[in-house]
């Protein structure tokens, strides 16, 4: 089996990164994690990656200066590192830098991200707080191809979870994160194996199956 070479970009704790590294330990997983790159040199995830025998690299964005030029220089260094590692797919996993259209276009169809909401709802930051404030009853996470606009791009997969009446942003985040760790390896496997791919502006899946059933919140049929 040919395993696609994957680079993971992180900025922090790297729990999604760990889920991908763990999934790729299976012999029949269609991707191999070639490297983990962080824009934050002391990101906790780097140590976890190293402990799992994965090569790591820190590219501190602050070293490239501010403004358009700094951003371009940072992305050039990132791109050069990705080429060097032979990356065929790039997974953003809690990577907290906005990427320019030049970069996302260059990696189009090979650059994917995970976001803790059911996109296109709740793009951006402070997502869990905003979902609770809005009173949504079902939340979730999305894996998508990255396009130039933040938190947008063709959707590869989603997982939904209920929101409990007494949820705090932290308890909701934990419930969603558990599903992120299931969804991301599944979606990466689909892309790496070619079972799903980007075609123009949408994701084509070879196996068109979808799960049956529905998540309804509140639980239907409960009467006083």
Active site residues: 115
Paired strand residues for 37: 9, 57
Binding mask 141-160 for ligand GRF (x = CB under 6 A): x-------------------
CB of 132 to ligand GRF, least distance (A): 15
Q: Which is nearer to ligand GRF, 75 or 180 (CB)?
A: 180
The single residue among 7, 39, 57, 94 that binds ligand GRF, judged by CB under 6 A, is 94
Q: What is the spatial distance between Cα 92 and Cα 107, in angstroms, rounded to a whole number?
A: 12
> Judged by CB under 6 A, which stretch of 98-106, 111-119, 157-165, 195-203 contacts ligand GRF?
111-119
What is the size of the binding site for ligand GRF (CB under 6 A)? 15
Q: Is 16 in the site for ligand GRF (CB under 6 A)?
A: yes
Part of the chain binding ligand GRF (CB under 6 A), chosen from 13-21, 26-34, 63-71, 157-165: 13-21
Stretch of 100-108, 109-117, 163-171, 196-204 contacting ligand GRF, by CB under 6 A: 109-117
Question: Which of 4, 6, 7, 14: binder of ligand GRF (CB under 6 A)?
Answer: 14
Stretch that binds ligand GRF, among 7-15, 28-36, 60-68, 81-89 (CB under 6 A): 7-15
Cα end-to-end span (Å), the chain: 57
Distance CA 147, CA 136 (A): 26
CB 130 within 8 A of CB 170: no
Fill in the DSSP letter of residue 63. Answer: G
180 binds ligand GRF (CB under 6 A): yes
Q: Does 114 bind ligand GRF (CB under 6 A)?
A: yes
**105 vs 214: CA distance, rounded Å:** 36
- Applying CB under 6 A, does 115 fall inside the site for ligand GRF? yes
Q: Which residue has the tokens 């065929």?
A: 88
Question: Cα dist. 39→50, 59, 94, 98, 206 in Å?
Answer: 16, 5, 11, 11, 35
Footprint of ligand GRF on 25-84 (CB under 6 A): none
Is the separation of the CB atoms in 122 and 131 below 8 Å?
A: yes
Verify binding: residue 162, ligand GRF, rule CB under 6 A: no
Catalogue the E-assigned strands of 31-181: 31-38, 55-58, 89-92, 111-115, 138-145, 155-162
Residue 12 contacts ligand GRF per CB under 6 A: yes
């Amino acid at each position: 089996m040919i395993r696609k070479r994957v680079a993971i970009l992180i900025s922090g704790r790297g729990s999604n990164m760990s889920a991908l590294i763990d999934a790729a330990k299976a012999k029949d997983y269609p991707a191999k994690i070639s490297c983990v790159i962080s824009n934050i040199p002391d990101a906790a995830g780097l140590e976890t990656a190293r402990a799992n025998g994965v090569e790591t690299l820190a590219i501190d964005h602050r070293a490239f200066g501010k403004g358009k030029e700094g951003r371009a220089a940072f992305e050039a260094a990132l791109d050069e590192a990705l080429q060097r590692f032979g990356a065929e797919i790039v997974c953003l996993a809690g990577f907290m830098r906005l990427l320019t259209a030049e970069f996302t276009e260059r990696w189009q169809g090979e650059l994917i991200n995970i976001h803790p909401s059911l996109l296109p709802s709740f793009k951006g930051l402070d997502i869990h707080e905003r979902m609770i404030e809005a009173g949504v009853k079902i939340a979730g996470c999305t894996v998508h191809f990255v396009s130039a606009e933040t938190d947008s791009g063709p959707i590869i997969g989603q997982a939904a979870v209920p929101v409990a009446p007494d949820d705090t942003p932290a308890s909701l985040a934990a419930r969603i994160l558990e599903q992120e760790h299931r969804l991301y390896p599944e979606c990466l496997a689909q892309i790496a194996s070619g079972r799903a791919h980007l075609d123009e502006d949408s994701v084509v899946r070879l196996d068109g199956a979808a799960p049956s059933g529905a998540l309804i919140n509140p639980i239907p049929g409960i009467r006083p």
